[in-house]
Each structure stands twice: as C-alpha cells, then as structure tokens.
Structure 1
Amino acid sequence: MRRLRAAAAFATLTALVATASGCGGSDTGGGGNGSPKSLTYWASNQGPNIEADKKILTAELKKFEQRSGIKVKLEVVPWSDLLNRILAATTSGLGPDVLNIGNTWSASLQATGALLAWDRSAFDAIGGRARFTDSAVAAAGAQGKDPAAVPLYSLSYALYYNKKMFADAGIAKPPATWDELVADGKRLSKDGTWGLGAEGANLANNIHQVFVLGRQHGVEFFDAAGKPAFTSDGAVAAVKQYVDFMAKDKIVAPGNAEYAQNQSLRDFSTGKTAMVLWQAAASTFAAQGMKPEEWGVAPVPVPAGTPDSARNVNSMVAGINIAVFKNTHNRDGALKFVEFMTSDEEQKLLNRTYGSIPPVKAAQADPAFAAPDTSVLKDTLLKSAAPLPQVPEESQFETAVGTAVKSLWADAAAGRAVTTESVRAALTKAQQQMPK
C-alpha cells in the first residue's frame, strides 16, 4: 500500500528518537526565522482526490498570503505515502515547515523529537489551548507531555447505510447492535450485492475497527505500562469478530480482502454494498454521484444488552492534527499559519467542506454541524469515542497488527478457516515484531 515498505519504516522509529535531535534549527530547538516570507506545507488527502484538495486549499493559502505576506508552497501527500515521507524528513531534516499528521501517529512522531512541542507559549500564540476540545487534544501526544501537534479536523466512525436497499429488504431502521448488523447484512447479501463493505488491506482501517471491538470486549492492545498485549482472549475475540463478517457471516465480499484505497466507498456509492463503517464519508459519496437523500447515517453498533461505559466505545477519536517541524526556517510564520488554519473562520469553512467536525469549540456552533450526519459524528466524539493508545510504539502497532488482520482477511477470502487458534497465532507473530 505504501511506496516504501511501511514495516521497515516503522522499525526504524526507535532509532529516530536518538537521531532526530540533529534536525533542530536552533540551540533552543524552536526553529528560526531565516525565511520569513515563505513556508512549505504538506497537507493530507482529505477530499475525494488530491486535485480536489489542491483546489480547496489553494484558495485558502492565497487568503493567508494576502493577510500575512507569507507565500505557502503546498503539497498534498497521499495517505499511502505520508508517514514514510514524514519519517524520512525526521532523519534527514529535509522536510516541510508545517505538515498534517494522522492523530494516531502523534505520540510516535513526538518520540522522534523532530516536531515542535506545543507548550503554553506556543498555544497562546494561536489563541490558547482552551479553544480546542479536550478529546482532540488528548490525541495530540503522549499523556503528561506537551502535545506534538494541534487538532485540525476531528472525525469519528459512523455506520452509513443505503436507504433504498434497506427499504427493498424490508429493514425499517439501521442496526444498533452487532447481532442486528449481521442479521441485516445476511438479508442484504444477495443477487451480487453485499451487506457490508470493508478494506481488508487497509492497515490503518483494520486497526481502527479492531481497537473499537477490543474496547467492546473489555481489553486494550497495550497494558497499563504501555506494553503490547495483543494475544489476550479479548483481543483475539475482537479480531475474530471483525474478520468473521467475511469468514463466518458471509456479509462482506471476498474481494474486499484486497481493498486498501477507499474502494469500499465506491462500492457503497454504486449500490454494490448496503453498509460501510467509515469516517466522515459524505463528501466522497457526493463526489461519486450519490445524492444525500440516498444514504443515512447511524452510530457504529455496540454489543447487545447494556454494556458499561468502558465497553460502549464505538469509535476511535479520529482526526488530523497540524504540526510544525522543529527545524523550520520560519517559526513565526509557521505559528501564524497554524493560527490561521485553526481560526474560527477557517475551521468552519474547511470542516464543512470535508464533512469533518471542528476541534475548535466555537466553530462547532455553526448550524452546518447540526446536520443529521455531522450530528452523529459530533455526538460520538463527545460521548462514546476513545483515543488510540498514545504510546511511542503506536505506529509499529498499526503495521504489525494491521498486517496480521490483513493476512486473516486473505485467509477468509481464500476459504481457509479463520479460527481462534489462527487469530491468536497471527497476533502472537505481530507482538513478536514489536520493539522489546
């Protein structure tokens, strides 16, 4: 999925902690101002494609240039390449001034020492830490340390469903529990269509789904000391439950085992699948010709019964953070740019465009974020989402366990048995790949 082998890149992360300090541009580690009229910015691909992002962001960067006199050179980097590009930049020191990062990477990249720490003075320069929701800031770095980035776009998972396909199958409402989802999925899986879409070769998506299921089974993938705990009974049950949507329940098409680049959203938009679990998918559906009235959105299912609040988690705290490289040649300009991107005005505009939720509290009051789909995402973030473990090894976790789940999807697609023993063996191998 990635241009470089992601596993190899992640395996170097502990070495980066020792080497990244050489990237700093000043004795204080705060960067300098040798290029006060220019900045480089690596943006993540948030829209339906890279060209759409370029068009959206270029207009905003021109606005920033007019106000500040600082010209921003933009590059939109695909998610398949972004982390490897960032890791390479932390070792070489040849990176952008400002960049987007997936919030799940925050602690791992923080451990390299290459990113500007957002202490009180840095936050004060952009209006203060209190402007941001607590859950978003919690996913910006390790607990007890100054964040490594600033929340930019907040996301959560939801269940999207095709209203016509549900009506044709005589299903009156979206499923609220996993038992209901499986039952509905079986009714919908017929005549070349499938109940649920998945992305079996998408390592990050695999992690997001099994993390939530793990929490619902009462476990974490890291223990209280931050050590990997991939082989517990609950972790094994969570992974098996996810892969069983194909292996046992037969509600996911075998071809989904190879999906890694949003193909499940395409299948949903063209009526090949009736449901998909995704983050803020509305803009992608619209770009693929689907009308808003054709789909509905509901919270991700939870186990049947009344689980306690700890097991009622139905999404990870998803989102994008914006960070500054410590060795930037325009520290003041970088802070001004982050201030601009997280201003109330830009937060409303950009999150409205991308269908995400502003992590800035004041921007959430905009009526646009009270629409049915965004209301589900917002309520999930407020009430039932939890951040992925903010540990330095989180990136290796995504590769090791994400790959283990990918291999199990491949077994299911090929008709090979997916058993408790085979799941435990795959997770044992993943845990053995983690740094000691």
Structure 2
Amino acid sequence: MSTKELAEGLAAEQVDSLAAVLAAVRGGGLPTRPDLTRRLGLGRNVVSQRVTQLIDAGLLDEGRLAPSTGGRPSRELRFRAEVGCLLVAELGATELQAGLSDLDGVPLAQRTEACDVAAGPEATLARLEQIFDELLADRPVPVPVWGVGIGLPGPVEFSKGRPIAPPIMPGWDGYPVRDRLSATYQAPAWVDNDVNVMALGELRTGIGRNELELLYVKVGTGIGAGLISAGRLHRGAQGAAGDIGHVSVLDDDSVLCRCGNTGCLEALAGGYALSRDGLTAAQSGRSAALAQVLAATGSITARDVTAAAGAGDPASLALLTRSGRLVGRVLATLVNFYNPSLIVIGGQVSSGGDIFLGELRRTVYGRSTALSARDLRIKTSPLGDRAGLLGAAFLVADQLFSPECLGQWISNGSPAGRPDLSDDGVAA
C-alpha cells in the first residue's frame, strides 16, 4: 500500500501533522496544546484536532493542569507507551540478546545467552522465538505486540529485511527473517545490521544524544560502523553503508578473511583475529600467559588476549596495539571523508581499555586532517551491551509512528495484526 492510500480517507497533510504532534509528545516534557502550537508552527485548531484524534485512537492521554502562564491553564499530554509492546533482539556471532520494551523504547524484560549464529537461521530464530514467547508469557498483564525489531551481524538489505552474503552467518544468505518474524507475531517487523541499531541506541539514549554527525564503531568478532548524518541513520542505497570490516588495510595475501578476500580490517584486527593470533602466540611459546589459558581451557578468546595485555603480557600487548592502530587508520580515513563530531567505540575488543583505545586515538588524530580532527571526540560506549536492544526498539517505533506507516493503521487503533506494514521497508 502506498503512503497516499490512507485509511478512511485521511489526507496526506493530516497524517503528516498527526505524526508531527505524536512525535513531539513522544519526545518528552509533557507538552500542552499551546506548547505544540508554538513548537510545530501549526495552527491552534489543527493542533487541537490532531490531539483529539490521537486521544481517540488511544495514543495520548491528558494529565494534570500545567502551571498557568497568564491565560487559561492547559492539560499536559502524555504518550501512552504502555498500550503495546515491542519484541527486540540483537544477534551476535556468539551471543543472543532478546528483550521486551514499551512503545517508548523503555526495556521491560531482557534475556541474554550464548548462541552460535553459524548454526543457521532455523535453529537460531526458533530459539529466539521461544525466548520471545517466554518473555510475553511472563508479563502480568498481556499486552499486544505492535512490532518486532532485530539486528543481525552482517549486511542486511533493509527494504527486504534479509541478510545478504553475511560472512560469519553460513546458511543465512537471503533468508526472509522479516517475513518469518512478522508472520509469527502477526505484527510488522524490521531487520537491520546490528551496528546500525547500536548507533540508534547511542543516538537516542547514550552519549550521542543530540549529536548530528556521529560514527558508532563496533569492534567485536567482526568490525562494523553505523553512520548518523544530520541526526539520521545513513544506510546507503542498499543498506550496506558502514561495512568497514572489509576495507583492505594491508597488501597481505597470507590472512584470508571470512568474506573470501585478503587484507581485510576484520581479518587482521577484529575479535576473531585476536583469538586466532593469540592461539598462535600461545602455541609458539611467545606468550606464557596465553599458554597457561590454553592449557586450562583448551582455547583462546579475544577476551583472553585483552586480559593478558592488561596484565602486561608483551605478546598480547603487541596484538592489541596492532588492532587499535589498524582500526585507527580506517577511522582516520572516515574522519577525513565524513567529518563526524563524535566517534563512539563499542564491542568486546574495546574492553581492552587504554591499550586499544590509546593506540586507536593516537592513530586517528595523527592521520586525520587538522580541521576534521579539531573538535573530534572519541569515546567508549556507556551503554555497552544495551545499545543494540535499545536501538532495535527505536528502529521499530520510528517506523510505526512515521507518517508513511501511521496513516495505514491509526484508524484501527493499533498496528497489531498488520504484518504487511513493514513490506515497503519504510526508512524513517
């Protein structure tokens, strides 16, 4: 259905003003009708009509009288975030996070467990759906599912909600993730790259709040970036923007990346690379600390390398320093090209603290132009693992309450039971 084919004859300009009023109230601060009139530049009668429509639809309610400013006091308006819920998830290479949030993105419940995304979509999504069902069953009062949002650790064709040739996700290429989840829960679903949803989480609730030009970088098993431009997520033409893990950083054919190419940043500096090179250091005798870990556990992880580096192990220090330097080189190129005001670093490798981040910062500032780096800040993510679930909730809410989508369901009072709403891949 096109954005012009709106329910019950609502005109496009009516839907635009409805969405604007709703967004202003969702933004917080308990505004009144006069506040909305001043803020949105709409006529007083238009604002009053739209507020009434939104109250009748069950999306807003009126609260206490606001303090008088000299005229007749007005009532504060509140978004009814509790009338529906959102199912949200972030899948990583080795971990699954699933949660339930209200319509304002506030977490209501969360579950985290180990998983192997390489097990394929059937097994992984079946487990995710089981967790979703358990979270819904645990609610004291049943609430309808208004939407589903999920981040995947690979390239996602956003308009179709499916991963495309994801290097670390065998068996997932072209799998209809969105269609499966929307059919299962009879609600619209949206699927995006995991780093994009993390960037949204930081933009809305983290240190990226109110930033217009932001770069979120996840350095985990793989490496990716989420780009915020003019305060909006930039996905690119096909949804593949920010896939910096497969930028070539070395002319070295000896290390094959899981994408099939050589010299990729991810293959040389990501968590998988640290694990691989740490194992080699342990087996060769170059790292006594890692050799002890290997003898005790039978494996080496990226966390083992960062922990050993923090304890002063020379081989681990060298690996973590090299990772920070290589990531920093790519980010310096992005700084010169894109000129962000803030770079937020997340992911398990960033837990290496000053060793990794110190080298990354030195490289970025040293290789960026003076103007592009003059006011640039580079910080670690304060949200940590929570960024993905928060961002997935905002992804869904932004879509549901966009003019393009809102006009198709508001006359029914709810998008529940409308899995078709996400078919157009609307990008609010």
TM-score w.r.t. the length of structure 1 is 0.28
Q: Which has the higher contact order (CA 8 A, sep 6+)?
A: 1
TM-score w.r.t. the length of structure 2 is 0.29
More strand by share: 2
Over alpha carbons, which structure has the higher Rg?
2
